[in-house]
Amino acid sequence: MDAARRRLRLSDSHVSVLGLLVEEEQIPEELFQARAELREAGILEADDKIAADLYPLVTTLMEPRVIAQVEMSRPQGVTQSGAIIGNDFIFTHENWPGEAESEYVPAEPETLVWALARMVDLHRDFTDGVDSDEVIISTMGAFDDLVARMESGQYERPEVAAEGTDAPLRLAEVLSQLNCMWRMTVAWQGAGAPGNGLAVSALAVWDCGVEGYWLRELPAEPVADGQVDHSSELRVRRTSAKELWQLITDLLPDGSQLASAQ
């Protein structure tokens, strides 16, 4: 805990312990180690009372109004980051590859889009004057086969990889420059939805270095379990950092879309 900057490094187990303590429930044995770590860090007192400095974070985690999740896949593995928006506070959290803990820091409403954009390393395009409306169409099966072939560790020219997987050459050229793929999902209790049901918005993007950014239009996000198979159409469109900034902004609900606070 960095009290001066209101920063904390917490794992999912630590968050689970805090939630159980707030609900005044017993801590199961498998979370004893996490509780001991919280005590050692000064986040919990000896009697398991939560430090006062954690009040904003704990109340936000327990009663979120909006949850943003950022999943980034890259050669180092998958990281999970995001933001939690409560009635009074906003916190962002970022994960480091291979680490169990995430860093939680407070944020202001005006900086939220900037924080989400930074989580996916949104940056100026490397090249100018490109066809920002270029579209590639294939199937998810061809895409999966192409990615698996490229991840095998044996370098192949894009034309060879494309021929071996029955994928479009242009798809192989773009994926040969892949830095990472990321998916951003925002969920909230929607106003006017039956039973104040969950509303979700999402987008999926490829960051392909000198080949630029590509927005996956099909399968369209959010994708439900079982909705996509090998025969599903894949359609990606070349886009720009400027458009992605606007799309990230549009993911977040405005006040009229939120259900009333309970």
pLDDT digits (tens, 9 = 90+) for 56-70: 999 999 999 999 999
**Cβ–Cβ under 8 Å, residues 85 and 56:** no
- pTM recorded for the entire structure: 0.89
How much is the pLDDT for 21? 94
Q: Per mean pLDDT, which range of 61-75, 123-137, 159-173, 205-219 is the poorest?
A: 123-137
Q: Is the pLDDT of residue 243 over 90?
A: yes
How much is the pLDDT for 241? 92
Residue 258: C-alpha distances to residues 127, 176, 188 (Å): 39, 41, 7
**In terms of Cα–Cα distance, which of 110, 261, 85 is closest to 187?**
85
Q: Over the Cα atoms of the chain, what is R_g?
A: 21
pLDDT digits (tens, 9 = 90+) for 8-54: 999 999 999 999 999 989 999 999 999 999 999 999 987 889 988 88
Q: Is the pLDDT of residue 82 over 90?
A: yes
How much is the pLDDT for 109? 92
Confidence of residue 120 (pLDDT cuts 50, 70, 90): very high
Inter-helix orientation angle 158-165/140-150, to 10° = 130
Q: Where are the extended beta strands (E) located within the chain?
A: 8-10, 66-74, 77-85, 90-95, 102-107, 135-139, 180-189, 198-207, 213-218, 233-239
Chain-wide mean pLDDT for the chain?
89
Rounded Cα–Cα distance for residues 81 and 20 (Å) = 22
**Could you say which DSSP state residue 4 is in?**
T
How much is the pLDDT for 86? 93
Q: Per mean pLDDT, which range of 14-28, 44-58, 94-108, 186-200 is the poorest?
A: 186-200
How much is the pLDDT for 225? 85
How much is the pLDDT for 247? 96
How much is the pLDDT for 3? 81
CA atoms lying within 13 Å on the CB side of residue 232: 16
Rounded Cα–Cα distance for residues 51 and 251 (Å) = 34
Helix, strand, or coil (residue 252): coil
